[in-house]
Amino acid sequence: MQRVRSTLFDILLTIWTGLFAPVLAVLWLIGSPERGVRLTSRLWARGVLVGLKWLVGLTYAERGRHNIPDEPCLIIANHQSTWETLAFLTLFPDVAIIAKRELLTIPVFSWFLRKSPMILIDRESGSKAVRKMIDESQAALAEGRSVLIFPEGTRKSASVPIEFKRGVELLYTRLGRVVLPVALNSGLFWGPDRAYKRAGTISVSYLDPIEPGLSGSEFTRKAEQLLETERRQSWLQAA
């Protein structure tokens, strides 16, 4: 039955996404205003989360919201599922997400990525991609928008230890902003190694902020340790 519910959600997601095609046309005709694009993307993401709740039985619970800084910050999160890519649009409405350019192949969603705007990186371009990531992150923060990055680079199974890709330590040292680590266990319910989406409650844990001023290596060790401790605890509880 759970597999059927998951399939029904996939069908609903396709229909729901298709309904936004006329909205995109209207936004394009009026010049794609950023505020309008973000409002529309949040509405789309909320609809997806509602569909997950009612069809799949998958919802989420937040913990540690008092740790969210009052000012724009750098948000780092472990990456286990497509879920967080959608959910962060509602959890942090004006966030600038650092995303790989491969996501531009997804219909409708790619348009929102371009126009929101998000920070799109071609990982094959090496140092050029890092410079672009830093420059556009600085610009987003100057506009009052927090910046989100998934330091692992791609989705990982909930059972795989957390290990950052190179680049996030440069972002930390160059931006000089407070970092908010966010731990997720979404892969237990909707992950790359799951045949279908499962019912349950995804945990979104806002951990103790990391202040600027550490070296890149010190920051990486501390951030990995914080997220890995939460990942291991969630994995053991599910086992």
Please check whether residue 210 is in contact with residue 222, taking contact to mean a CB–CB distance below 8 angstroms: yes
- pTM score > 0.85 for this model? yes
Q: Which residues contact 46 (CB under 8 A, 6 or more apart)?
A: 90
β-bridge partners, 76: 149, 181
For residues 170-178, average pLDDT: 95
Cβ-contact 211, 177 below 8 angstroms: no
Place of tokens 């472990």: 78
Question: Which pLDDT band holds residue 205 (cuts at 50, 70, 90)?
Answer: very high
Biggest CA–CA distance in the chain, Å, is 52
pLDDT in tens, 46-101: 999 999 999 999 999 999 999 999 999 999 999 999 899 889 989 998 899 988 76
| β-sheet bridge partners, residue 130 | none
Distances (CA, A) of 62 to 47, 57, 208: 19, 17, 14
Give the whole-angstrom CA distance, residue 193 versus residue 214: 35
- Please tell me the total count of domains within the chain: 1
Proportion of the chain above pLDDT 90, given as a percent: 59
Q: Domain residues for 187?
A: 2-238
pLDDT at 129 over 90: no
Contacts of 218 (CB under 8 A, 6+ apart): none
The pLDDT tens digits of the residues spanning 5-39 come to: 999 999 999 899 888 888 878 887 888 788 888 88
User: For tokens 């969603």, what's the residue?
Assistant: 109
Q: What is the CATH number of the domain that holds 60?
A: 3.40.1130
Q: How far is CA 129 from the centre of its chain?
A: 19
Mean pLDDT of 213-224: 96
Percent of the chain at pLDDT exceeding 70: 91
Q: Report which listed range, 41-45, 111-115, 196-200, is most confident.
A: 196-200
